[in-house]
Chain A
Amino acid sequence: MARQPIGDILLKVERITLSFGGVTALSDVSFTVREREIGAIIGPNGAGKSSLLNVINGFYHPQDGQITYKGTTRSKVHVHEAARTGIARTFQNIALFKGMSVLANLMTGRNLKMKASILEQAVYFGRSKREELAHRDYVEEIIDFLNLESVRKIPVGRLPYGVQKRVELGRALAAQPELLLLDEPMAGMNLEEKGDMCRFVLDVNEEYGVTIVLIEHDMAVVMDISDRVTVLNYGKLLAEGTPDEVRANKAVIDAYLGIAND
């Protein structure tokens, strides 16, 4: 399927300042993402990248600035509200439900789409059963997409790291998000796994039309798959633009990328 064109602004983050006690994590950071775009956030460790994602999806509340998502402007978001408006994410240190199977974890992603009341669920036969099966259908497509068939029923805690990362992506996808925030989705993976994950990310964007914001350290990946790159350093915005523009930006080279030794 050909990739659909990038649309209007989906998320606009303006002049965000975030501090914890004496430490300033983000200082006057602004950032925009358009529909169906793949945007990357890069920068040295401690630059505030994860904090920025946490602000977007509501784990942290900024002291200053505002967030405009799908036309609504807010000074802070609550996590479950963000989930309700179509934002899903993955984490640096996997945040899966270790006691549940892969299938159950993916089904939790469908949580907001399920409407049956507690009583209906207790009885099961009827509306609740229909719902469960319908969502199971949808989740199975994601299992197929991510090649997780063989590990469906295994408790997530027992799976290798790379597989857990895929499951986390699957759970985020199960929610049918409009905006997907990925925090270092390829950390700790070997070359082959990274290639697979890249493919997944691109397919998600192409097939499901999902807008993606990802934090990554692997420059090859970032330059290859992203449409726009934002660079953070010490909590401040350093540069912003297409991959080529950022790669050539002197400030970025000095602070982060460095120059190839010939």
Chain B
Amino acid sequence: MIYRETGQYKTSYAADQAIFPIAQDRWVVLALGAVAFILVPVMIDDYWANAIFLPLLCYTMAALGLNILVGYCGQISLGTGGFMAVGAYASYKLMTTFPGLDFALIVIAAGVITAAVGVLFGLPSLRIKGFYLAVATLAAQFFLVWLFNKVGWFYNYNATGQITAPPAESFGLVVTGAATNTSTTYLFCLTFVAVFALMAKNLVRSRVGRSWMAIRDMDIAAEIIGVRPLRAKLSAFAVSSFYVGMAGALYFGVWLGSAEPTEAFGIDQSFLVLFMIIIGGLGSILGSFLGAAFMVLMPILLKNFMVDGLAMSAVLAKHVEITLMGVLIIFFLIVEPHGLARLWQLAKEKLRLWPFPY
């Protein structure tokens, strides 16, 4: 009954093609938006920001990017960590070379640079599919981590090999470095994610999104409608890497503050983001949000439950967490390959009738 659509009919194609055609959806999104933009910044503290909201936003950005490549275009990438590193190091170099530059511009520029790198690694992979593409992206992953470890220019030759984000401003407010205001950093990331999620949604419902999905569903047939598979795959790589690069810049600059390649951008990150989109839902913008939220919150909830609740050792809890992640992946792949997003859709279908039986 809650999701009754009766009485909501569309009188124009524009209305029919809106992102949230059902009124109930619009209300929910507006409410969430109000909470996110108005309520949270007022109430947020350091712990919540660093443990939950900032990583959630950074990973959502990365998940959006990876979902475009994997969920919408049907390619596979195991190199997300490496490309986040590209974004992070690009932003680091830009910050240290042009200290006065607005950080928002730096993030976008980092994204563009990562897109270029992504295209470079994507080019040779265009004639191969499936596992072969996985190899190419793995190559990128290991090579990039090695590169940022070895080549001093990237970390400005400092002794520790780490990169640390210097203070940088955006629109006059400090968003990186030690002296930041929690609400500011949160809102900065939130704005980025909101704007670019909207753009991603626009892309996937337009011509380019359809050409990606055509490649995913049947790339041989995509050519007959004039889609050039090489170009479509490249554009998916480029856009995906753009998002992942921005995610890396935010991840390093705003959240972590300092980073070291193997730990922050290793292959575990690649798997983490992949799991996010599998659990959240492949080929769904909402799924990217849900999957990121799930993978960020679950370890925290688990740890609280196991270590505080059941008095397990932290080491044991970590092993259980790893096991559980694997079980969840398999569970979702078997039961609902379209992930949480689809479960949400099914719930809405049920809510059409509830509490009535039919």
Asked if chains A and B are in direct contact (CB within 8 A), the reply is yes
Q: Determine if A100 and B213 form an interchain contact, defined as CB atoms under 8 angstroms apart.
A: yes
User: Is A164 an interface residue, CB under 8 A from the partner?
Assistant: no
User: Is A79 an interface residue, CB under 8 A from the partner?
Assistant: yes
The interface bits of chain A over 135-155 (1 if a CB of B lies within 8 angstroms of the residue's CB, else 0) are 011001000000000000000
User: Is B300 an interface residue, CB under 8 A from the partner?
Assistant: no
Within 8 A of B (CB), among A41-92: 57, 59, 79-80, 82-84, 88-89, 91
The chain B residue with its CB closest to the CB of A99 is B217
B84 to chain A, nearest CB (A): 21
The interface bits of chain A over 106-148 (1 if a CB of B lies within 8 angstroms of the residue's CB, else 0) are 0111111010101001111000110111001100100000000
> What's the Cα separation between A99 and B207 when bound, in Å?
15
The chain A residue with its CB closest to the CB of B220 is A95
A interface, size bucket: 35 or more
User: Is A166 an interface residue, CB under 8 A from the partner?
Assistant: no
User: Is A104 an interface residue, CB under 8 A from the partner?
Assistant: yes
User: Is B199 an interface residue, CB under 8 A from the partner?
Assistant: yes
Q: Determine if A116 and B13 form an interchain contact, defined as CB atoms under 8 angstroms apart.
A: no
B215 to chain A, nearest CB (A): 9
> What's the Cα separation between A136 and B16 when bound, in Å?
11
Q: Determine if A99 and B226 form an interchain contact, defined as CB atoms under 8 angstroms apart.
A: no
User: Is A171 an interface residue, CB under 8 A from the partner?
Assistant: yes
User: Is A215 an interface residue, CB under 8 A from the partner?
Assistant: no
Partner of A80, one of B14, B207, B218, B223: B223
A196 to chain B, nearest CB (A): 24
Within 8 A of A (CB), among B159-197: none
Residue in B17, B213, B217, B235 whose Cβ sees the most chain A Cβ within 10 Å: B217
User: Is B224 an interface residue, CB under 8 A from the partner?
Assistant: yes
User: Is B210 an interface residue, CB under 8 A from the partner?
Assistant: yes
Residue in A79, A89, A104 whose Cβ sees the most chain B Cβ within 10 Å: A79
> What's the Cα separation between A118 and B115 when bound, in Å?
14
Q: List 25 A-B contacts (CB under 8 A).
A: A80-B227, A91-B221, A96-B221, A97-B213, A98-B217, A99-B216, A100-B210, A104-B210, A107-B207, A107-B210, A108-B214, A109-B225, A110-B207, A111-B226, A111-B227, A112-B225, A114-B207, A116-B206, A118-B235, A121-B202, A121-B207, A123-B202, A124-B202, A124-B206, A128-B202
